[in-house]
Amino acid sequence: MQTNPKIQQQLEKWIEENRGHVILGTTAQYIPELGKADPSKLGICMLDEEGHYYCAGDTDIEFTLQSISKALTFIALSCHYGLDFVLERVDVEPTGEAFNSIIPFEIHRPNKPFNPFINAGAITISALLPGQTSQKKYEYLLHFLEELVGHPLEMNREVYDSEWKASHRNRALAYYLKEAKFLEIEVEEALDIYIRQCSIKVSTKDLALIGLIIAYDGYNPITKVKHFSEEIAQVAKVLMVTCGMYNSSGNFAAHVGIPAKSGVSGGIMAAVPPKLHSQTYEFRAGAGIGVYGPAIDVQGNSAAGTMMLRQISKEWDLSIF
Amino acid sequence: MQTNPKIQQQLEKWIEENRGHVILGTTAQYIPELGKADPSKLGICMLDEEGHYYCAGDTDIEFTLQSISKALTFIALSCHYGLDFVLERVDVEPTGEAFNSIIPFEIHRPNKPFNPFINAGAITISALLPGQTSQKKYEYLLHFLEELVGHPLEMNREVYDSEWKASHRNRALAYYLKEAKFLEIEVEEALDIYIRQCSIKVSTKDLALIGLIIAYDGYNPITKVKHFSEEIAQVAKVLMVTCGMYNSSGNFAAHVGIPAKSGVSGGIMAAVPPKLHSQTYEFRAGAGIGVYGPAIDVQGNSAAGTMMLRQISKEWDLSIF
Amino acid sequence: MQTNPKIQQQLEKWIEENRGHVILGTTAQYIPELGKADPSKLGICMLDEEGHYYCAGDTDIEFTLQSISKALTFIALSCHYGLDFVLERVDVEPTGEAFNSIIPFEIHRPNKPFNPFINAGAITISALLPGQTSQKKYEYLLHFLEELVGHPLEMNREVYDSEWKASHRNRALAYYLKEAKFLEIEVEEALDIYIRQCSIKVSTKDLALIGLIIAYDGYNPITKVKHFSEEIAQVAKVLMVTCGMYNSSGNFAAHVGIPAKSGVSGGIMAAVPPKLHSQTYEFRAGAGIGVYGPAIDVQGNSAAGTMMLRQISKEWDLSIF
Amino acid sequence: MQTNPKIQQQLEKWIEENRGHVILGTTAQYIPELGKADPSKLGICMLDEEGHYYCAGDTDIEFTLQSISKALTFIALSCHYGLDFVLERVDVEPTGEAFNSIIPFEIHRPNKPFNPFINAGAITISALLPGQTSQKKYEYLLHFLEELVGHPLEMNREVYDSEWKASHRNRALAYYLKEAKFLEIEVEEALDIYIRQCSIKVSTKDLALIGLIIAYDGYNPITKVKHFSEEIAQVAKVLMVTCGMYNSSGNFAAHVGIPAKSGVSGGIMAAVPPKLHSQTYEFRAGAGIGVYGPAIDVQGNSAAGTMMLRQISKEWDLSIF
């Protein structure tokens, strides 16, 4: 079957309509290498269950995963140790505090981080990845992701170095986790694996493909490969809905309604589950979406990307709600 | 078409299996009238889109809406003024703090309450109900609910009186809201309407019916009446998923995955949307669920009710995720 | 013995030098009646142990006690019930939070308010004043104060009414206290007595006299009357040093070093204990100080009054440290 | 002049009377080396202005300064750079939060730490000590202290190592400070100097002598040497009164009233200023006090030491209030 030219045209039209929204954000200045990105870029790739990619705008740029990696580490770790093991070490409750806040820990003294998408939870579970060293842990995750996307991946060394130097707040968090006995390995090791995973380079196509696999509950409908269990995919989608878009996750759920995870690099990975009763024809059998728009809003999400997804979801009835 | 006896038997079996879990909770002691409930009770009603009720356990008891009313006020208000009006006055972001916490307000000084399911947000929007007095506002809401359930409803006066006397914390919140200029009416009026709505008596059948209407995006598939817009229903479901079960909303989403709202009376209203690709036959076309189990856990949710819903969702593949 | 003309001249000079600092503050806008005060006013009265008053600047204006009353209620209550009774119901620990904050209560859930100079503690102890009604409690305090100053006192009704209407935040606090079981009487009664005490009219001369009595450990060296015990006076001075000047108490202690209590009306009452080893002759035998300067800084203290006291303390070596 | 045998006898009696209070505390378990101390020990040395030492109980034990060093670094730094320089970099406001809390920083985002006696403030100012390396900074402080006590001092290497390993929370704080740009040197350097200063070994005699010098506003009345300015001594005493005894500073001020700084090793350094109008003869011309009692209470202060100081202050009228 062929790609649908109407879908392609529509996406291109939406890219143009939403380009203006890039001025509602700026590139992430607190990580100098990310700050250098071109804030005017905006691109999207959508992938359907038959393997058709619909790409529009600036989709030839690679960017780093940043917080999108949090969802992927959660999945990789759950695959290896089982979901119960992971959920004993990190909760799945949303929190209204900032992603790097220590306040809820000091106030509530929880016995595990609130969820794997705040930095505290993400560092905690990254440190649990299989392997004796951060290098081994990183390789485990990288291999897992390469299996998903079907090609080699690598780290952006400049971004890694830039983040390593700018990671005082994450070090503060990690030492706090160490004090609370949530971290079993050394802090510097934990930060190394965490910052490595954040620095992995991907394209919007990669994100679309992983998003599709999550939408299909761990199953790649194109290659017919089952990568992870439905149970893991479901919890991943719950996390994406409740905590995936930083402190505007609720608004994203209300206005877009697609499980998604964003990163401060401006990437968004979204998983559109099949919706047989959809009111439109487009992507009724589900889709994966990769967005890139490095001008991020105050919450940390691609400003134009979020606006565009809102439009797309509305027009094509993609919300799970 | 007839009811399915297997479904009926299965529900009765699950009630028996989950009865033991009532010991994991206690009745709400801080509201004396609620504290008097019989903690050993457990009942469930499920309603399918054809109008078949499947009721098992203690379903002949009426109980008060309590926090379940928060979802209903949100819907009623959105119907009257439009969703935009409401979302300008209350946000839809989950918060990790307790439902009656003042901390996030003092720390973040938001320009509106975080969501309509924390008490601050609920009192704010109840005060906005149409009508010049709390009596009129209450009547508006009551009428709206009577339209949904198809029969007269009334308040439990003893519960109202008990809550009115025990509402120091809500008064503190309401005066805080007044100071922040979120409340346009007098605090005592706002509390009156809020406590009235909490004191409305319902049955598990009522909750199942309203749940079904929410699952059907505002449409009653039995009477063929459209009560509210799809847009409103979707935001209601988002709120139920992200904030509906107090501070275990994330866990409920992960393990049950059905939009739901609970109250400290032990009631739970759940909305099972149609899921044509469900792995099981039961309730593939959606359902509404009403649960009653007054022994609530530390989070405020029916202890046995939550456990039972987890089992039901798993067995019949009812999760939206 | 006569008054010392040099001291009088010096004070007048300092008033003129510090008048310009009134622009560093504004009158308390959140209580409309206080907001109407003339922000350019600045006056000071100092009283020595022989009964000589040295008054300079705008000392013919009466103003309301506001938070200065917190120190006086603490003393009156301790006189009646004993210090132990009071310290069982309110702690004496400084807190870095705002005087009207609920945060430390929610975070730490203390078994009593942190100190009697934050609003929570002040309302708690005002409610304990002897008397069955707020009227009786108020009369008790008023009588106690009239004994100290030696003449009748009365309330500023306009200020009382203005505060009563603007007291949403204090109502929030008081209901929170009621919930925490710190308040034995009704919230409205507690607020009535609290706002009454805040609305009592005094002059800088009155404050100077009460300050002198505190400096002399409860003894009036002029009338030779013992009003309260040394033990009570000492704790009062500790509170004035550690919490008397809102969130700049530490800076005031470091740069002025005189036990003092301020109010948002712009009044400051300061108690200069005898200091036989003082490096200067002036007020070596102690003094009481009353200041009035209604332009208050962001912390709530008279802007010019604080600057002037800093200068006076330095020049005449009045610090207790 | 000779020592007064009555004072000596009285101190020995009080030691015996207060020994039983050691059971109200335990040694600091979170630093293993400190945890090993003998919790039954209790000793006190008082030094008068003529050079007479009155020592009773277990005064032959050396222990580490721990938080007592915070007061000394503050003084040393102020001597070198001037008080203004230091007060631009650290505030002098008490806070009700724990000494190692990050909450007030996240909530209030102050432009400098609240005071030099919470860990955040202490690390900040230790990092400012003169010298290019932490070794040089440490030597500067050590030399300053040796000048005060008149004999060589050294570090307890085991305690240093134990604290270095157990310092996750301090590392978290220090990285937080680095992020906030309060720390100009590297975090590891800052922690090295901070933990070194905490690990300096002293005796109760040493603390008594330094306490006396502080009481005498930087002047040693025995050797007639002026070590630091009156201005610095006064701010040090303000800090000791408002924040010197962790979160029971207010109670200590109310019930003891002597400027003091404690450490989790169980040491307390207290400065009794001259009080010519004292109601008793003992130490009317001031004193320095060193206490050692390693069983510390929940606040972090020597349990028996605090009780004993309360008794001494009351009996000999040593309070500054």
Cα–Cα distance for residue pair D151/D145, rounded to 1 Å: 9
A1 touching B (Cβ < 8 Å): no
Alpha helices, DSSP H only, in D186-300?
Answer: 187-198, 204-215, 230-243, 249-255
Q: What's the pLDDT at B99?
A: 83
In a mutagenesis test of the C interface, which of D75, D88, D93 is the best target, namely the one with the most C β-carbons within 10 Å? D93
| E-only strand ranges, A240-305 | 260-262, 267-272, 287-292
- Tell me which fold the domain D5-65+202-316 belongs to: Beta-lactamase (3.40.710)
**B102 to C107: CB separation less than 8 angstroms, yes or no:** no
- Mind giving me the DSSP string for A40-96? T--EEEEEETTS-EEEEES-S--EE-TTHHHHHHHHHHHHHH-HHHHHHHS-----S
Closest-CA distance, A259 to chain B, in angstroms, reads 9
Instruction: Locate D165 and state its tokens.
Output: 């390993």
pLDDT in tens, B52-64: 999 999 999 999 9
Considering the domain delimited by C5-63+202-316, tell me its CATH architecture: 3-Layer(aba) Sandwich (3.40)
Residue of D171, D181, D188 to mutate, interface with A, max A Cβ within 10 Å? D171
The Cα-based distances of A34 to A27, A199, A204, A295, D5 in angstroms read 7, 10, 17, 10, 74
Contact assignment for C172 to B106 by CB distance below 8 Å: no
At position B139, the amino acid (one-letter code) is: E
Residues 262-281 of D with CB under 8 A from C: 274, 276-277
DSSP label of B4: -
Torsion C226-C230-C231-C233 (CA) sign? positive
Closest Cβ opposite residue D277 in set C247, C249, C274:
C274
Q: Is the CB of residue A168 less than 8 Å away from at least one CB of chain D?
A: yes
Q: Is A195 a residue whose pLDDT tops 80?
A: yes
C101 noted as active-site residue:
no
**What's the gap in Å between the CA of C71 and the closest CA on chain B?**
25
Name which of C101, C175, C179 is nearest B175 (Cβ-Cβ). Answer: C175
The answer to whether C291 and C207 have CB atoms below 8 angstroms apart is: yes
Contact criterion met (CB below 8 Å) for C84 and C232 = no
* A5-63+203-316 and A68-198, same CATH topology: yes
Q: What is the mean pLDDT of residues A146-150?
A: 98
Q: Three-state DSSP class for D226?
A: strand
Which one is catalytic: C138, C160, C194, C219?
C194
Instruction: For residue B253, give the nearest of A125, A237, A117 by alpha carbon.
Output: A237
CATH of C68-198, one of 3.40.50.620, 3.30.1360.120, 3.60.70.12, 3.40.710.10: 3.40.710.10
Which residue in the block uniquely carries the two structure tokens 């939550």? B306
* CATH number of the structural domain A5-63+203-316: 3.40.710.10
Residue A1's pLDDT band (cuts 50, 70, 90): low
Under 8 Å between Cβ of A126 and A71 = no
All residues of chain D having their beta carbon less than 8 Å from the beta carbon of residue C103 are 107
- The alpha carbon of residue D29 is apart from the nearest alpha carbon of chain A, in Å, by 14
* Predicted local confidence at residue A278, as pLDDT: 84
Cβ-proximal residues to D57 (8 Å cutoff; 6+ apart), any chain = D12, D15, D19, D41, D42, D43, D44
Q: Which of D102, D173, D178 to mutate to test the interface with A (most CBs of A within 10 A)?
A: D102
- Which of B101, B106, B178 is the closest to C168 by Cβ? B178
Determine, for residues D179 and A173 on separate chains, whether the beta-carbon distance falls below 8 Å: no
Residue A297: pLDDT over 70: yes
- For residue B23, count other CB atoms closer than 10 A to its CB: 12
Q: What residues in A contact D171, CB-CB < 8 Å?
A: 171-172, 175, 178, 187
The answer to whether B246 is a known ligand-binding residue is: yes
Cα C297 vs. chain centroid, distance in angstroms?
16
Closest residue, chain B, to C105 (C-alpha) = B103
* pLDDT tens-digit readout, B63-106: 999 999 999 999 999 999 999 999 999 999 999 888 888 888 88
Q: Three-state DSSP class for A201?
A: strand
Domain boundaries, chain D: 5-65+202-316, 68-198
Q: Residue B91: which of A108, A239, A250 has the nearest Cβ? A: A250
- Cβ neighbors of C131 (< 8 A, separation 6 or more) are C137, C138, C139, C140
Q: How confident is the model over B140-179, as pLDDT tens digits?
A: 999 999 999 999 999 999 999 999 999 999 999 999 999 9
**How is residue B93 written in tokens?**
């972001």
DSSP character for A97? Answer: S
D80 touches chain A (CB under 8 A): no
Q: Which residues of C touch B175 (CB under 8 A)?
A: 168-169, 171-172, 175
**Of all helices (H) and strands (E), which one includes residue A162?**
helix A157-165
- Give the closest-approach CA distance of C32 to chain B in angstroms: 15
Residues 6+ apart with CB under 8 A from C298: none
Q: Determine whether the interchain pair C92/D257 forms a contact, defined as Cβ–Cβ distance below 8 Å.
A: no
Among residues C56, C66, C78, the alpha carbon closest in space to that of C6 is found at C56
Other C-beta atoms lying within 10 Å of the C-beta of residue C298: 12
Rounded to a whole number of angstroms, the distance from the CA of B111 to the nearest CA of chain C is: 17
Structure tokens at D200: 């300096």
Strands (E), chain A: 43-48, 53-57, 63-64, 201-202, 219-220, 225-226, 260-262, 267-272, 287-292
CA D159 to CA D155: how far, in whole Å? 8
Q: Is residue A67 part of an annotated ligand binding site?
A: yes
| Beta pairing partners, D44 | D56, D291
Chain D residues lying within 8 Å of A179, measured CB to CB = 168-169, 172
D76: number of Cβ within 10 Å: 29
d(CA D125, CA D183) in angstroms, rounded, equals 9
Looking at residue A131, its amino acid is G
Q: B103–C102: do the CB atoms touch at under 8 Å?
A: yes
Q: Name chain D contacts of C254, Cβ cutoff 8 Å.
A: 87, 92, 234-235, 238-239
Tell me the average pLDDT of chain A: 95
Q: Is D215 left (phi over 0), alpha (psi -120 to 50) or beta?
A: alpha
Contact B249 A242 (CB under 8 A): yes
Sort out which chain A residues have CB atoms less than 8 A from B253's CB and list them: 92, 238, 241-242
Q: Look up residue D249 and give its amino acid.
A: S
Q: Exposure string (b/e) for A86-122, b if CB count within 10 Å is 16 or more?
A: bbebbbbbbbbbbbebbbbbbbeebebbbbbbbbbbb
- 3-class DSSP state for residue C188? helix
The owner of tokens 């404050």 is C207
pLDDT digits (tens, 9 = 90+) for C63-90: 999 999 999 999 999 999 999 999 999 9
Average pLDDT of span A120-130: 97
Per residue in B103-142, pLDDT tens? Answer: 888 888 899 999 999 999 999 999 999 999 999 999 999 9
Distance CA A162, CA A199 (A): 10
Interchain contact, A102 vs D169, CB within 8 Å: no
Residues constituting chain A: 321
A164 has a chain D CB within 8 A of its CB: no
Work out the pLDDT band at A104, boundaries 50, 70, 90.
confident
**Nearest alpha carbon to residue C212 among C55, C45, C78:** C45
Query: What single-letter amino acid sits at A24?
Result: L
Q: Does an H or E element contain C147, and which?
A: helix C134-149
Residue B272 β-bridge partners: B287
- Nearest Cα neighbor of D65 from D220, D261, D275, D234 is D261
ipTM, two decimals: 0.92
Amino acid at A40: S
Amino acid at C85: F
Answer yes or no: do B179 and C169 touch at CB < 8 A. yes
* Chain A neighbors (3+ CB pairs < 8 Å): B, D
Nearest in space to D291 (alpha carbons), one of D201, D204, D175: D204
Listed as ranges, residues in chain C with pLDDT below 70 are: 1
Alpha-carbon distance values, B283 to A200, B146, C250 (Å): 43, 25, 66
Closest chain A residue to D186, measured at CA: A168
Q: Which helix (H) or strand (E) is A7 found in, with range?
A: helix A5-19
DSSP symbol at A271:
E
pLDDT along chain D (321 residues), means of 10: 88 96 94 94 97 97 98 98 97 89 85 95 97 96 98 97 94 94 95 98 98 98 97 98 96 98 98 89 95 97 98 96 95
Q: Is A194 annotated as a binding residue?
A: yes
Model confidence over A249-262: pLDDT tens digits? 999 999 999 999 99
| Residue ranges at the known binding site of C for substrate | 67, 119, 163, 170, 194, 246, 264
Here the tokens at position B190 are 């706002």
D219-220 and C287-292 strand pairing: unpaired
Determine the pLDDT at residue C1: 61
Q: Which residue has the tokens 């877009």?
A: A256
Q: Which of residues 90-129 of A touch D (CB under 8 A)?
A: 101-103, 106-107
Bridge partners of A277, per DSSP, are none
| Min Cα separation C217/chain D (Å) | 9
Rounded to whole angstroms, the Cα distance separating A109 from A107 reads 6
Query: Locate tokens 């009596």: which residue?
Result: B135
Binning chain A into helix, strand and coil, the percentages to the nearest 5 are 50, 10, 40
Q: What is the pLDDT of residue D225?
A: 97
Asked if residue A50 lies in contact with residue A222, where contact means CB atoms within 8 angstroms, the answer is: yes
